[in-house]
Amino acid sequence: MKVEDQHGDDGAVRSVLRTFDLLALFTEQHRTWAVKDLTTASGLAKTTVLRLVATCEQRGLLWTRPDGRITVGPGMLRWAQLANTAWQLPEPVRQVLRELAAGCGETVNLYVRGTTVLVCVARQEGPRAIRHVGRVGDELPLACGAAGRVLAGDEGSDGAAVSHGEPETGASSVAAPVHDGERRVLAALTVTGPTSRFGEAEVAGMTEAVTEAAQHISRIGFGARPE
């Protein structure tokens, strides 16, 4: 490959990464942006931001409202529906989550590992009024909490993990690995709630329950599977 071709490839990769980083700035807390603020938040030149926004608008990923503010585009609806369908868990797995939440009295989450974050792909709210609150799609830092320890890359791990004060002070979690048929860790099944309800005896009981539930899910199987 010629040197100039390599530089061209590097430039294309940078543009793609910048586009993804720009899209990542759109969150529940920041659903719309003014160009000036988007430029500041991205750290990019205004001309670069305008170019990336224009490209994303052509593909329906962003949309400029009549008031000039930029928000996610209608093209995202197709991607959202596709992701929701691809990651829809089998009913037997969802039943395991419901039974675990009812048995432990706490919120149950299922996390998978992305490149730089943990992503919640399934959730069952706990039955108590004071409980851990979140949504499917929420992201956590890669090494965060019990789920992060389970998904830290120890393939074949059978061990559960416990964390206190991560990702928030006053919250505790117990997690266990979900494996595929070759004993590779696919996901972390977690029970999360107020630290005041995670005493030594409670954690011991939750560890046993979460581990059994994770093993059950491993036998059933789960994942984004093509139809």
Per-residue model confidence as pLDDT tens digits over 33-84: 999 999 999 999 999 999 999 999 999 999 999 999 999 999 999 998 888 8
Domain with CATH 1.10.10.10 in the chain: 3-75
Alpha-carbon span 116 to 95, nearest angstrom: 30
Q: Measured at the alpha carbon of residue 40, what is the angle toward residues 35 and 42, in degrees to the nearest 5?
A: 90
Least confident range of 96-100, 124-128, 137-141:
137-141
Q: What is the mean pLDDT of residues 97-124?
A: 94
Q: Where in the chain is the domain with CATH 3.30.450.40?
A: 87-220
Tell me the CATH number for domain 87-220: 3.30.450.40
Q: pTM of the predicted model, to two decimals?
A: 0.77
| Residue recorded with tokens 């074949």 | 156
Of the ranges 10-14, 122-126, 153-157, which is most confident? Answer: 122-126
CATH number of 3-75: 1.10.10.10
Starting at the earlier edge strand, list the strands of the sheet with 62-64.
32-33, 70-72, 62-64
Average pLDDT of every residue of the chain? 89
Structure tokens at 138: 């929420």
The pLDDT tens digits for 177-205 are: 999 888 889 999 999 999 999 999 999 99
Helix (H, G, I), strand (E, B) or coil at 122: strand
* pLDDT the model gives residue 4: 42
Q: How far apart are CA 93 and CA 138, in angstroms?
A: 20
